[in-house]
Amino acid sequence: MKIAKVLFPSACVVVGACLAVAALDLAFRWYESHHLIHNLEDLPGPFNLQELGYHHHGQPVPRNKTAETFRILSLGDSFAHSVTTSENTYAAMLEAALNETVASRPQGARSVEVINLGVPSVSFPEYLKQGRHWSPLLEHDAVVLNIYAGNDFHEARDVPLSTAVRERLNVQVGLGTHIPRTHLLRFMDYLAAFVKSGTIQPPKVMDAPSDYDPVLIGEMDAETYRMVMLIAARRYAPALHEEFQPSLAWCREAMRFLAEEARQGRVVRILVSPPHFWHDPHWLQEVQQAPEFAGQQLDPDLPAVLVRQLAAAEGLDPDVVLDLQSALQQRAAAGETLYLGTNSHWTVAGNAVAADVLERAFAPVLAAWPGKAAFSASQLGLAAAARAVQ
């Protein structure tokens, strides 16, 4: 009886404490969902993309555009996001170049907007998420997707392609979206993040001119960068094709989304961006001499060929796929520095190459717009078989 008298109050205290902690966590989760995480669909706009974590160069973007504005949504990873200042991204350069073009014309588009929706460290699943989210939120005339052949296929190969994952997911913003869910109690995730933020050293950044964002240009040591280049090279090895079948399924999902955009009257263009080693003799030699590629011939055109095949399978014209390999090679041969040291991303000059290629792709489309009621199927990027059902 004496033991029971001691244990019962102790058990009540433990149970009470557990219930109190559980109640506290429920209350914190409610607070998080109402104040620390926001669904973009619930926001009226205009959208301040800089505050939402995007590297956009312009003013807050309203949901609707003017009738004389040609608006392009630019999707991609850190190459679209860019490590330069926002004014030196290829989205900003493309916007400036196209505005200069349309300003000299007596009719057609009076202004062009290129909305930079690039997100660092993502691949095909996130491209789908971003595209499916922003497409109904922002009135637009065109979509550009930049596929980075260096790691997009590598990162998506272990993500299962399921109906649940493929469904359109709402993009959320706010402090809570940056706190990983690793603890049973949600408030412990925040506490751990707070403790961690006070103990981790800030990332090493490179000395760079004012054209670059110092927060975004952390460098790698030579051996780490070599490993990054070796990973990037795997998608160029025909012998490793089977390894990337899951990521090719994801790529086809992205092509399906873009084909849907084209059928809704939006112009579609796709960039395929190669990794650094193809345009630097030192890193190309490092890759070619690596034991894992002994006796193998790397194919510089392979990713773009595969993307064109998947685009065609979804009814897109393969010509909408713009491989940057040749354009970058020409600039590199002319002595331009296109990649930022051991950062793996483009310099301002590299961004300019992407902008130039896209400008040439969009200039004919803008020539008669909005003089015509709608774009032709070929301008939209639909293949001949798909044009017949337009």
Query: What pLDDT, on a 0 to 100 scale, did the predictor assign at position 260?
Result: 96
Residue 25 has pLDDT above 90, yes or no: no
Query: What pLDDT, on a 0 to 100 scale, did the predictor assign at position 389?
Result: 42
Query: What pLDDT, on a 0 to 100 scale, did the predictor assign at position 201?
Result: 45
Write out the E strands in the chain: 38-39, 69-75, 111-116, 142-148, 172-173, 267-273, 321-323
Q: What does the alpha-carbon distance between residue 14 and residue 20 come to, in Å, rounded to a whole number? A: 10
pLDDT top residue among 33 and 287: 287
pLDDT top residue among 130 and 182: 130
Query: What pLDDT, on a 0 to 100 scale, did the predictor assign at position 372?
Result: 59
Query: What pLDDT, on a 0 to 100 scale, did the predictor assign at position 228?
Result: 94
| Buried b or exposed e, range 96-129, using 16+ CB within 10 angstroms | bbbbebbeeeeebbeebbbbbbbbbebbbbbbbb
The predicted-structure confidence for 203-215, as pLDDT tens digits, reads as follows 454 555 667 776 5
Residue 344 has pLDDT above 70, yes or no: yes
Contacts of 293 (CB under 8 A, 6+ apart): 233, 237, 287
Q: Residue 73 pairs with which residues in a beta bridge?
A: 115, 143
Query: What pLDDT, on a 0 to 100 scale, did the predictor assign at position 37?
Result: 75
Give me the residue spans of the domains in the chain. Answer: 1-36, 46-387
The answer to whether the beta carbons of residues 88 and 211 sit under 8 Å apart is yes
pLDDT top residue among 53 and 173: 53
Mean pLDDT of all residues in 57-80: 94
Residue 140 has pLDDT above 90, yes or no: yes
What is the four-CA torsion angle of 175, 181, 185, 191, rounded to 10 degrees?
-50
Residue 49 has pLDDT above 60, yes or no: yes
Map tokens 């095949």 to a residue.
309
Token pair of 283, please?
């890193």
Residue 343 has pLDDT above 70, yes or no: yes
Positive or negative CA dihedral for 239, 241, 242, 244? positive
The answer to whether the beta carbons of residues 154 and 231 sit under 8 Å apart is yes
Confidence class for position 164, pLDDT limits 50, 70, 90: very low
Token pair of 340, please?
């930022």
Query: What pLDDT, on a 0 to 100 scale, did the predictor assign at position 285?
Result: 95
Task: Please count the other Cβ atoms lying within 10 Å of the Cβ belonging to residue 197.
Answer: 8
Residue 167 has pLDDT above 70, yes or no: no
Confidence class for position 388, pLDDT limits 50, 70, 90: very low
Map tokens 């902690």 to a residue.
21
Residue 57 has pLDDT above 90, yes or no: yes
Beta strand 172-173 pairing with 38-39: antiparallel
Q: What does the alpha-carbon distance between residue 19 and residue 26 come to, in Å, rounded to a whole number? A: 10
Identify the DSSP state of 342.
Answer: T
The answer to whether the beta carbons of residues 117 and 75 sit under 8 Å apart is yes
For domain 46-387, give the CATH number: 3.40.50.1110
pLDDT top residue among 226 and 11: 226
Confidence class for position 6, pLDDT limits 50, 70, 90: low
Query: What pLDDT, on a 0 to 100 scale, did the predictor assign at position 203?
Result: 45
Query: What pLDDT, on a 0 to 100 scale, did the predictor assign at position 266?
Result: 95
Residue 321 has pLDDT above 70, yes or no: yes
pLDDT top residue among 267 and 196: 267
The predicted-structure confidence for 114-124, as pLDDT tens digits, reads as follows 999 998 888 99
Confidence class for position 171, pLDDT limits 50, 70, 90: low
Residue 179 has pLDDT above 90, yes or no: no
Q: For 264-267, which contacts have Cβ atoms below 8 Å and span 24 or more sequence positions?
A: 265/374, 265/375, 265/380, 266/140, 266/141, 266/142, 266/143, 266/380, 267/72, 267/141, 267/142, 267/143, 267/362, 267/365, 267/375, 267/379, 267/380, 267/381
Q: List, as one string, the DSSP characters of 281-340.
A: HHHHHHHHTSGGGTT----TTHHHHHHHHHHHHTTB-GGGEEE-HHHHHHHHHTT---B-
Query: What pLDDT, on a 0 to 100 scale, did the predictor assign at position 153?
Result: 93
Average of per-residue pLDDT values in the chain: 85
N-terminal to C-terminal alpha carbon distance within the chain: 85
Q: Residue 147 pairs with which residues in a beta bridge?
A: 272
Q: Which of 6-15, 283-292, 360-369 is the least confident region?
A: 6-15
